[in-house]
Copies of this chain bind each other. A is one copy, B any other.
Amino acid sequence: MRTINSKSLLNIEVKFMKYMLVVEHIREGIETGKYSYGIKMPTINELAKKLNVSAMTVKKGLDIAQSRGYIERRQGSGIYVKMNTQGKKKSIPLSGNSSRFSKKDLHTKIIHFSVDRPSKEAAKKLQISSTDFVYNIERVRILRNKPIIIEYVYMPINVIPGLTEKVLKNSIYEYIRHTLNKRISSSDFLITGVRPNEDDKKFLNLTNKDFLMQIMQTVYLDDGTAFEYSVDKHIPEVFEYRSVETDI
């Protein structure tokens, strides 16, 4: 990646794509209240001049700001702020758990941890052979003594070597990012509502009357390798998925 140093006068080296300057400018403007709901923003050329980048780069930044729901663009008219100061945040299923809780309140109980052959389903999703080995993990997330999420996770041992119970007790994603130095790039996921199975009922203290919000997902590294196939089931009290959709 090409990087530039902004704020170098402050001796704080911030590495950015230039188009992220645009996104940051808008995010900051919304947070500080400079840009509030419905206001017309500066034009593309003004932004380009102010941030010292080309118009094309501003446009690329606007693409991202728009995809995040910050702004609305009206051809021939201008750019308008769409988000309120109390910014909406996407609850991203990438990390397998909701980020709405402070880390202190959240504990992890490991129900099962083994290395097995993958199920047919898991092998297909992970694009591996049924003779390869995968970690087979079952975890329960507990929020202030209340179990809220049960996770069934499959990861190829070749892709994510060296998993231990200690890692599972903390964050698998931290381990992948900071110990293995791999980058997570994308996920396909599917949200449905399901009834609990026997394990779900046992570990989340549920009955047949209860239900769960299920996310089935395949997660990819930035080299395209699928490294996780997982099924997370959340109790409805703590689940929400928020997003923005834009035409094309």
Residue positions of A touching B, CB distance < 8 A: 37-38, 63-64, 69, 72, 74, 77, 80, 82, 88, 92-94, 127, 183-194, 208-209, 211-213, 220, 222-224, 236, 239-248
B188 and A244 within 8 A (CB):
yes
B69 touches A188 (CB 8 A): yes
B190 touches A193 (CB 8 A): no
Count of chain copies: 2
Identify the 10 closest CB pairs spanning chains A and B, nearest first: A193-B236, A72-B224, A191-B241, A211-B211, A186-B246, A190-B242, A209-B209, A193-B213, A192-B240, A187-B245
Cβ–Cβ contact B248 & A64, under 8 A? yes
**A2 to chain B: closest CB distance in Å?**
11
Is there contact, CB below 8 Å, between B224 and A188?
no
Q: Contacts of A184 on B, CB cut-off 8 Å?
A: 247
Q: Of B212, B222, B241, B245, which contacts A92 at CB under 8 A?
A: B245
Which partner residue on chain B sits nearest A222 by CB separation? B74
